[in-house]
Amino acid sequence: MSGEQKIRAFLFYLGVLIFFIGLRFILPSALGYKFNMRTFRFTKAGLIALKTQPQGASIYLNEVLLNEKTPATINELLPGEYNLKLELENHYPWSAQVSVEAGKVSRLEKIILFPIRPNIKQLNKEKISSFWLDKEKDKVYYISQEEQTLYKSDLEGNDFVVAGTLAQMRPLPIKWKISPDKEKLLSFNPHQIVVVNLRSSHKPYLTESPLVLDVANHKITDIFWHSDSYHLILVTDSNIEVQEATLQSVPVNLVNLNKKSISASYDENKDILYFIDNQKAADGKFYDNLFKLELGTKFSFIKPRANEP
């Protein structure tokens, strides 16, 4: 046998030996067993898997500081209860009683360590009464009812500037709602709607800004933007109507309501209005029912309600 073949034979048998000896340790370890050096026996154990946000927290297990920092896996733990404490500088400590079962992993992988002094920062530079975030464009819009002004800034409060002027409304607006295209802001009180164009170049829908629409006959309880950011769905004390966000618009009555004040929800993605109204049943009594009103561009008209004009 040549020198190479001798080396090869040695490596082969060494590999076989390592395979069988190594397997004796790797498999029990993978299954969660712990090798007891004193008794030379395997004991079934469990483990704790730790992940924190942020990482690098010190780990105390039953008050003993471990060498590892998060994220970490604490292996070969005998079944039982353990006091676990995580500490990270300038963060609140986290602690819990953790139960370890034989052959199982206790996963603690969604731990958030909150900072002791949260980074709190005032963003507005002027008096404001309301705000909303435009996450897509990383903008914050602020409303000052007192000054009837709309401000905007970036998400850090920088570039705080006037974005528009709001119309005078008496009584003060009930709600503010941004259009789906994030380019128009509507506010309303029971008899008045004001639409402010957030983009000065916005054409052709809004020719003037702010646009003030009066609703004299009904009392508005809620308004929703249609997904086209042009139509408004008005829920009033007597009906549901739709109208364009223009001065020339003539409202279209969609549904007459039996209840004075209804709760309604609008699915902007599918243009469906869900609302509760009461309806006369066969026994002559009125019961509340949930209705679905499709307002998408592909209308598939649903069966009219009984007694519907």
Partner 1 sequence: MHNAKRIKRYLEIIPGAISWGIIIVLILLSIFKPVACAISIIVFDFYWIIRTIYLSTLLVLAHRKLFKEKNKDWLSECQGLDVKKDWSKLYHLIIFPVYKEGIGVLRPSLEALRNSRYPKEKMIVVVAFEERYAHAQANARILETEFKTSFFGYLSTFHPDKAPGETRTKGANATWAAKQAREFLDRKAIAYEDVIISCFDADTCVDREYFGCLTYHFLTQPKPHQASYQPMPVYNNNIWHAPSFARIVEISASFCQMIDSMRLEKFVTFSSHSMSFKTLVEIDYWPVDMVSDDSVIYWKAFLFYKGDYRVVPLYITVSMDVAYSSNLFKTIALQYRQKRRWAWGIENFPFLINGFSHNKDIPLLIKARRSFQLLESHIMWAIWAVIVILIGPLPILLGGAFFNQMAIGYNLPRITGLLFNFTLATSLAFIILSRAILPPRPKDVSWFKNIVMLVEWIIVPVIILILGSTPALDAQTRLMLAKYIEFNPTEKGRKVV
Q: Residue 26 interacts with partner 1 (CB under 8 A)?
A: yes
Instruction: Give residue for tokens 């080396």.
Output: 7
Q: Residue 78 interacts with partner 1 (CB under 8 A)?
A: no
73, 168, 217, 289: residue in contact with partner 1 (rule CB under 8 A): 73
Residue closer to partner 1, measured from CB, 73 or 168? 73
Structural tokens at position 191: 């008899």
Instruction: Give residue for tokens 């297990």.
Output: 61
| Interface mask toward partner 1 for 5-24; x: CB under 8 A | x-xx--xx--x--xx--xx-
Residue closer to partner 1, measured from CB, 31 or 302? 31
Q: Residue 74 interacts with partner 1 (CB under 8 A)?
A: no
CA dist., res. 217 & res. 101, Å (int): 69
- The pair phi, psi for residue 59, each rounded to 5°, is -115, 125
Task: Say if residues 245 and 230 touch (Cβ distance below 8 Å).
Answer: yes
Residue closer to partner 1, measured from CB, 45 or 211? 45
- What CA–CA distances, in Å, run from 173 to 146, 176, 187, 222? 12, 7, 6, 11
41, 107, 175, 292: residue in contact with partner 1 (rule CB under 8 A): 107
69, 85, 104, 202: residue in contact with partner 1 (rule CB under 8 A): 104
Contact residues for 298 (Cβ-Cβ < 8 A; gap 6+)? none
Q: Residue 93 interacts with partner 1 (CB under 8 A)?
A: no
Check residue 218 and report its DSSP letter: S
Contact residues for 195 (Cβ-Cβ < 8 A; gap 6+)? 184, 185, 186, 206, 209, 210, 211, 213, 245
3-state SS assignment for residue 52: strand
Please report, as residue ranges, which positions from 30 to 69 form the binding site for partner 1 (by CB under 8 A): 30-32, 45-47, 49
Task: Say if residues 202 and 183 touch (Cβ distance below 8 Å).
Answer: yes
Q: Residue 110 interacts with partner 1 (CB under 8 A)?
A: no
Residue closer to partner 1, measured from CB, 16 or 116? 16
Please report, as residue ranges, which positions from 266 to 295 form the binding site for partner 1 (by CB under 8 A): none
Residue closer to partner 1, measured from CB, 109 or 268? 109
- The amino acid present at 59, given as its one-letter code, is I
35, 69, 87, 105: residue in contact with partner 1 (rule CB under 8 A): 105
Instruction: Give residue for tokens 């699915």.
Output: 267
Contacts to partner 1 by CB under 8 A: 4-5, 7-8, 11-12, 15, 18-19, 22-23, 26-27, 29-32, 45-47, 49, 73, 103-105, 107
